[in-house]
Structure 1
């Protein structure tokens, strides 16, 4: 993050110089907007000099995931088959809102193909190694988004989250990552994975930055985030399958986090949700909502057995396309009912708390060629995060202190409680940073 007294253009040039120095081995960004970013930075500096401002994002360096429309170029969404796609005639709504808020958009970041996988690998591009250790996976699907923010080649990154694709890479790279209530932020101009589950959210080093970006993305008035006291909060702990199989280090850090919350005056209560997760799992025996909806999005190329698409994506989507539409419609009705039941269940708490992922980042080498290990890791990375998407909730991940490899503490709120959740997260963030 640039100091407030540093010219935006100077901060940008430092980032561009860093990226230029590694241009022959760039893995984090798939496209840079150096000239337009310079113009945006100069405009921000001019506003500063005249005492004007467009709000908290004015002059902030922002990266955007490679699935948001930008006028004049095809939207690749991490794929090579989209290189000849029609060129959008307008920016994605969130890109328009960022520009109007004075954000300096530096480039588009790496992602897994069509945002479909959570580990961070994409066979068409080099893997952007984890910002804390380049031999480790970055997490996905917003892989480059997380690395760009964590390494400091942007101040705030914008990603998408369908089953954890903001929160997983944020957690593995030591960042804050926010998944809003899906309906708050328009998806127009964002290449879809699963329209029923997709949401757009920020990754940054602080809750305050995520909250500022979220307000702009949602078209809401910018307002300073006032932390909400922890004392007196009823925080649910969903003991059961979501706390099973934690790595020893994450289990210890999570237990310590609960102790810190209790010491700060929070009231921890048991909040069982395993039955609802099991009911949704039974309903999705025909296939995941993401896989089924994505198969409809990509029906145009699935009949081509030679389509140059990640086999982890194409094989799943071809199977899911065989599922009748009526079965998908029934599944979505079941999901809507379970989301209402989940909302009622969580009404007894202000929020619930979980480890964002049960494991930290693994080595890239361990999952590149071993399909069984890849599937095991991906299942673990998705397990806790996807609950918020499946049941239409809002969630945020915060770095847990004292770990060898980064991992996150996830706060989950009911549908529409986004600003309250961010306010609580600001207090929890301050608490954890003291430890």
Structure 2
């Protein structure tokens, strides 16, 4: 059955008006979702939609993580350090492609400062409320983007994913989050957390909406010829320990449904994942974010969230030789993974836990412990330079994320598999 888009050029004007009314009313469920809205320019975009009416994205309402340049607006990266920077003079390339395809850009969304956490907490612009369970964290770092979609403000949101920043908030809020192969979508015009691990991708309420968006952002220049085997691997030696009992039970149910949909699910020990565990993954963001923001780190350290500042400080303890060894270890792991896993899909819960209560993070030790646990499973896909997607699965009163991960370059085949699994899980 053909995908029924919830947007169209004909309804864009009325839908935008409804969104503007909801956001401007100060509805509590939309608290701290945006750092800035683009409503005046969005109305102007709507008035010109006839020129792009043939695009599959024409009339879609799209929110944009506050890491991307949008012409005429300041890119703050969720931080006070960039508040006084001049407005962008042009759109980041993927944002430009979306605009040209008739997407209506409605605002910059809130995020963890500098994208440096998987929790979505921001002391400067506030923390958005979880869309499924008020009082819980939204997940991050693309926190406001996830809430804008889950609360029906945006059809699609554009974010980045360095260790799960699209897939974690998708899992915590019951939507779809897709992390593409890194180089398939341009990262120019986007503030970097880690040049090694950052990817640009969408979140939406369906796999199909993510796929349409992904095709537009790539400019249609991706390889569709790589196909995955219809076999999923559950690795016994990674990602399945320390599961919340609710997550464990729901994941077991989801695996059964995926198997019933025709996919072979194999439980297997993967030797390559023992290599992965030896990589000090934290070094990528520590070194590379410090490089990106070093001038501000030295001139105005007091403007940073102290928890982000402490992570930037960790770069001081890494010498050049150690970091080169980390980069080499990553290359060795990627080779080993491709040899052992090939063109099969890794199947895991997106996160081992449910979204915790925001009040839990008053304690610094809990903040760091739960951040690492939340990031653990999805970060694998970034270090692999793979493609990965989180699908929502509701079990009883709770919704978890089911994550499918494939090697780099299999994006289209992974989206096809995710489409089938989405139907099975719903």
1:408 aligns with 401
Task: Report the Cα distance in structure 2 between the residues aligned to 1:11 and 1:221, rounded to whole angstroms.
Answer: 31
Distance 1:390 1:282 in 2: 12
Residue matched to 2:38: 33
Aligned to 1:425: 418
Count of residue pairs the alignment pairs up: 419
SS where residue 385 of structure 1 aligns? helix
Q: Name the structure 2 match of 1:315.
A: 310
Shift, 1:70, TM fit: 1.7
* Paired position in structure 1 for 2:324: 329
Matched with 1:183 is 183
Aligned to 2:200, the other structure's residue is in SS state strand
Verify the 8 A CA contact 1:249 1:403 in the aligned structure 2: no
Question: Aligned partners of 2:381, 2:396: CA distance in 1, in Å?
Answer: 25
Q: Quote the residue 1:254 is aligned against.
A: 251
- Matched residues in 1 for 2:210 and 2:272: separation? 30
Name the residue aligned to 1:294: 289
| Deviation at residue 322 of structure 1 after TM alignment | 4.1
Between the aligned partners of 2:320 and 2:102, the Cα distance in structure 1 is 43
Distance in 1 between residues matched to 2:27 and 2:37, nearest whole Å: 10
Provide, for residues 164-199 of structure 1, a one-character-per-residue CA deviation record: whole Å limited to 9, x for no partner: 000000000000000000110110000000001000
Cα gap change, 1:95/1:5 in structure 2, threshold over 3 Å: closer, same or farther? closer
Q: 1:329 and 1:377, CA in 2 relative to 1: closer, same or farther beyond 3 A?
A: same
Aligned to 1:127, what secondary structure does the other structure show?
coil
Residue in 2 aligned with 1:379?
372
What's 2:26 paired with? 22
Aligned to 2:346: 352
Separation of aligned partners in 1, 2:104 and 2:56? 12
Q: Which residue of 1 aligns with 2:363?
A: 370
Contact 1:2 1:11 in 2 (8 A): no
- Show the 5 A alignment for 1:105-144: 105-144=105-144
Whether 2:40 is the aligned partner of 1:43: answer: no
Report the Cα distance in structure 2 between the residues aligned to 1:8 and 1:305, rounded to whole angstroms: 43
Q: CA deviation at 1:4?
A: 4.5
Calculate the aligned-residue CA RMSD, in Å.
2.3
Deviation at 1:23? 7.4
Tell me the alpha carbon deviations over residues 178-229 of structure 1, each in whole angstroms, 9 at most, x when there is no partner.
000011011000000000100011001100000000111111179xx9xx9x
Judge conservation of contact 2:33–2:147 (CA < 8 Å) in 1. Answer: yes
1:399 corresponds in structure 2 to 392
Distance 1:305 1:107, change over 3 A: closer
Of 385-394 and 4-13, the range deviating more from structure 2: 4-13
**In structure 2, do the counterparts of structure 1 residues 300 and 325 end up closer, same or farther at CA, with 3 Å as the change threshold?**
farther
* 8 Å Cα contact 1:167-1:396 kept in structure 2: yes
| Distance change in 2, residues 1:321/1:14 (3 Å) | same
**TM-score, with length taken from structure 1:** 0.91
1:378-415 Cα offsets, whole Å, 9 max, x none, are: 12210100000011111000011224232110011111
Unaligned 5+ segments in structure 2 are none
Aligned to 1:284: 280
Cα pair 1:33 1:105 within 8 Å, conserved? yes
Give the superposition deviation at 1:79. 0.3
Looking at structure 1, the residues matched to 356 and 75 of structure 2 have their Cα atoms a distance apart, in angstroms, of: 30
CA distance 1:376–1:10, change in 2 (3 Å)? same
For 1:414 and 1:4, locate their aligned partners in 2 and report how far apart those are by CA, in whole Å.
34
Q: TM-score, normalised by structure 2?
A: 0.93
Q: Which runs of 5+ in 1 are unaligned?
A: none
1:231-270 equivalent positions in 2, closer than 5 A = 233-270=230-267
Confirm or deny: 8 A CA contact 1:296 1:321 kept in the other structure.
Answer: no
Q: Quick check: 381-390 or 311-320, which moved more?
A: 311-320
Distance in 1 separating the partners of 2:407 and 2:39: 40
Indicate conservation of the 8 Å contact 1:137/1:361, yes or no.
Answer: yes
Task: Measure, in 2, the Cα distance between the counterparts of 1:298 and 1:374.
Answer: 23
